[in-house]
């Protein structure tokens, strides 16, 4: 009787991207360089298409042309279709027309450049124009935004890049692949034995000294949204980046973090963001959606839905947080 040698541990690469951290793991170490090439190409395309911080991005051009009709690229059309689908599925809790509200709150540059303390008063909040007012034909790629509307695709574009990169890298290399962008992750291909072990934390970049709760991901995707990491102060108020489209204000803090598992990173991130916006209504909404989720209240109380497993305190060696 012969036994197979144990599989080598996943190979890993971490680097800054899209204002956050890109984390790439592959089950076949020989596939890492090819998978990296695929991931970097997807990130570069997403940045050039969807960044609201680049003066040469297509999103900037589209926002400057609000009120007029334009033809967008195939890549932008996919990103916008994805954002509009998320808005529809979340009942408008995730709405790409919050761009002006986010800028008014002070998130008008990359987060690393946002002033942590700003004495200027917060402008009077206004509701988002509403995703239903966007005139878009996906077939012809013709788009017209309402006048004075600015799109912000942050709730879906990064997740879409994770989904695309994981699928392409796995198809190209034949390896199992995990792509995490700021803690929002997608997997493709055959996972390592026991699945990808993922440790959960409020901040993926600062997981803490003690092992936190960990879960195994074998397929699909997982995303976490929260109100503790991307925060700043303006006019004596503490603000965060998740805006309620109905008010134009940061979502009322009910949940410290919400983690959701879904078939795609786009769906997971849309649901976790919507849950933060929905606040007290998040639990019945997620329960109706039948999405596995773990919600942590401001006091540390944990709510698990749709079969989310009990917390285990085992560390997650080699896996992203």
pLDDT at 206 over 80: no
Identify whether 218 is part of a domain: yes
Q: What pLDDT score does 299 carry? A: 93
Residues paired with residue 262 on neighbouring β-strands, in sequence order: 221
Give the mean pLDDT of the chain: 89
pLDDT tens profile 26-53: 999 999 999 999 999 999 999 999 999 9
Identify whether 8 is part of a domain: no
Identify whether 234 is part of a domain: yes
Q: Render 236-253 in DSSP notation, one character per residue.
A: TEEEES-EETTTTEEPP-
Q: What pLDDT score does 317 carry? A: 40
Average pLDDT estimate for 249-265? 94
Q: What pLDDT score does 228 carry? A: 74
For the chain, how many structural domains are there in total? 1
256 contacts 225 by C-beta, under 8 angstroms:
no
Identify whether 268 is part of a domain: yes
Identify whether 320 is part of a domain: no
Query: Whose CA is closest to 298, among 249, 238, 221?
Result: 238
CATH number at residue 279: 3.10.520.10
pLDDT at 18 over 70: yes
To 10 degrees, the CA torsion angle through 168, 216, 297, 303? Answer: 120
22 φ/ψ angles, rounded to the nearest 5 degrees: -95, 130
Identify whether 241 is part of a domain: yes
- Is pTM beyond 0.85? Reply is yes
Give residue 227's pLDDT band: very low, low, confident or very high (50, 70, 90). confident
308 or 203, greater pLDDT: 308
Q: What pLDDT score does 209 carry? A: 46
pLDDT tens profile 113-172: 566 667 676 676 789 999 999 999 999 999 999 999 999 999 899 999 999 999 999 999
Q: Render 132-198 in DSSP notation, one character per residue.
A: GG-EEETTTTEEEPPTT-----TTTHHHHHHHHHHHHHHHHH-S-EEEEETTEEEEESPPPTT-EEE
Percent of the chain scoring above 90 in pLDDT:
71
Q: Which residues contact 74 (CB under 8 A, 6 or more apart)?
A: 141
Q: What pLDDT score does 211 carry? A: 55
* 3-state secondary structure string across 250-311: ECCCCEEEEEEEECCHHHHHHHHHHHHHHHHHHHHHHHHHCCCEEEEECCCCEEEECCCCCC
Q: Is the dihedral of CA 73, 78, 81, 86 positive or negative?
A: negative
Distance from C-alpha of 134 to C-alpha of 144, rounded to nearest angstrom: 6
| Mode of pairing for the β-strands spanning 231-234 and 117-118 | parallel
pLDDT at 19 over 90: no
Distance from C-alpha of 125 to C-alpha of 319, rounded to nearest angstrom: 40
Q: What pLDDT score does 244 carry? A: 93
Q: Which domain holds residue 150?
A: 17-305
Identify whether 175 is part of a domain: yes
pLDDT tens profile 52-110: 999 999 999 999 999 999 999 999 999 999 999 999 999 999 999 999 998 888 766 56
Q: What pLDDT score does 203 carry? A: 53
Q: What pLDDT score does 104 carry? A: 83
Identify whether 10 is part of a domain: no
pLDDT at 112 over 70: no
Q: What pLDDT score does 119 carry? A: 60
């Amino acid at each position: 009787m012969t036994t197979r040698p144990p599989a080598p541990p996943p190979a890993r690469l971490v680097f800054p991207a899209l204002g956050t951290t890109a984390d790439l793991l592959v089950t076949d170490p020989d596939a890492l360089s090819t998978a990296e090439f695929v991931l970097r190409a997807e990130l570069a395309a997403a940045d050039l298409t969807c960044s609201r911080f680049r003066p040469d991005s297509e999103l900037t051009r589209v926002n400057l042309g609000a009120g007029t009709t334009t033809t967008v690229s195939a890549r932008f059309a996919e990103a916008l279709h994805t954002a509009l689908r998320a808005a529809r599925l979340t009942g408008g809790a995730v709405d790409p027309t919050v761009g002006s509200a986010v800028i008014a709150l002070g998130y008008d540059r990359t987060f690393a450049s946002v002033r942590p303390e700003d004495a200027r008063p917060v402008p009077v909040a206004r509701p988002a124009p509403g995703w239903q007012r966007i005139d878009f034909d996906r077939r012809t790629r013709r788009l017209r935004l309402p006048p004075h509307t600015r799109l912000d695709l942050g709730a879906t574009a990064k997740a879409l890049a994770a989904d695309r990169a994981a699928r392409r890298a796995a198809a190209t290399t034949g390896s199992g692949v995990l792509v995490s962008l700021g803690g929002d992750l997608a997997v493709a291909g055959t996972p390592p034995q026991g699945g990808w072990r993922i440790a959960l934390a409020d901040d993926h970049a600062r997981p803490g000294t003690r092992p936190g709760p960990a879960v195994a991901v074998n397929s699909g995707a997982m995303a976490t949204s929260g109100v503790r990491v991307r925060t700043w102060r303006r006019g004596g108020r503490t603000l965060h980046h998740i805006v309620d489209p109905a008010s134009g204000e940061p979502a009322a803090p009910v949940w410290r973090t919400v983690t959701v598992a879904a078939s795609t990173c786009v769906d997971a991130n849309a649901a976790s963001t919507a849950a933060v916006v929905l606040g007290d209504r998040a639990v019945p909404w997620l329960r109706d959606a039948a999405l596995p989720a773990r919600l942590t209240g401001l006091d540390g109380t944990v709510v698990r839905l749709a079969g989310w497993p009990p917390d285990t305190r085992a560390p997650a060696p080699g896996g992203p947080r």
